[in-house]
Amino acid sequence: MLIVMHQQASSEQVDAVLRQIRDFGLEPHPIPGKTRTAIGITGNVSAIDPTHFEGLEGVKECIRVTKPYKLASREMKVDDTYVDVADATIGKNAFTVIAGPCSVENETMILRTAEFLRGLGVRLLRGGAYKPRTSPYAFQGLGADGLELLAKARERTGIGIVTEIMDASQLAEIAPIADMLQIGARNMQNFTLLKAVSRSDRPVLLKRGISATLEEWLMAAEYILSGGNARVAMCERGVRTFADHSRNTLDLSVIPPLQALSHLPIVVDPSHGTGHRAYVGAMAKAALAAGAHGLMIEVHPDPARALSDGAQSLDFGEFQKLWGELRTLADALGRPIA
Q: Are 97 and 124 in contact (CB under 8 A)?
A: yes
Choose between 38 and 114: whose C-beta lies nearer to ligand PEP. Answer: 114
Which residues contact Mn ion (rule: CB under 5 A)?
102, 309
In whole angstroms, how far apart are CA 80 and each of 73, 91, 149, 231?
Answer: 10, 7, 34, 12
Which residue lies nearer to ligand PEP by CB, 21 or 98? 98
Smallest separation, CB 28 to ligand PEP (Å): 34
Q: Are 286 and 109 in contact (CB under 8 A)?
A: no
Contacting range for ligand PEP; rule: CB under 6 A; set: 1-9, 80-88, 184-192, 326-334: 184-192
> Torsions phi, psi of 196, nearest 5?
-65, -50
Helix (H, G, I), strand (E, B) or coil at 206: strand
Nearer to Mn ion, 2 or 153 (CB): 153
Instruction: Report if residue 102 touches ligand PEP, rule: CB under 6 A.
Output: yes
Q: How far is the CB of 197 from Mn ion (least distance, A)?
A: 20
Pick the piece of the chain touching ligand PEP (CB under 6 A) from 12-20, 143-151, 180-188, 320-328: 180-188
- Between 5 and 197, CB nearer to ligand PEP: 197
Q: Considering CB under 6 A, how many residues would be counted as binding ligand PEP?
A: 9
- Residue 231, contacted partner among Mn ion, ligand PEP, none, CB below 5-8 A by kind: none
Minimal CB distance to Mn ion: which residue? 102
Minimal distance, residue 66 CB to ligand PEP, in Å: 30
DSSP string, 136-153: TTS----THHHHHHHHHH
How near is the Cβ of 114 to Mn ion at its closest, in Å?
17
Per CB under 6 A, does 129 bind ligand PEP?
Answer: no
Is 237 one of the binding residues for ligand PEP (CB under 6 A)? yes
Could you please report the per-residue DSSP string of 290-317? HT-SEEEEEB-SSGGG-SS-GGG-B-HH
> Strands, E, within the chain: which ranges?
2-5, 27-32, 37-42, 59-63, 83-85, 88-90, 96-100, 124-126, 160-164, 180-183, 204-207, 232-236, 266-268, 294-298
Q: Which of 160, 158, 164, 161 shows the shortest CA–CA distance to 186?
A: 164
Q: Is 132 in the site for ligand PEP (CB under 6 A)?
A: yes
Sign of CA dihedral 90, 91, 97, 102: positive
> How far from chain centre, in Å, is Cα 71?
15
Phi, psi (5° rounding) for residue 186? -70, -20
Least gap, CB of 195 to ligand PEP (angstroms): 19
Smallest gap from residue 60 Cβ to ligand PEP (A): 42
Is 207 a residue that touches ligand PEP (CB under 6 A)?
A: yes
Residues that bind ligand PEP (CB under 6 A): 102, 128, 132, 184-186, 207, 237, 272
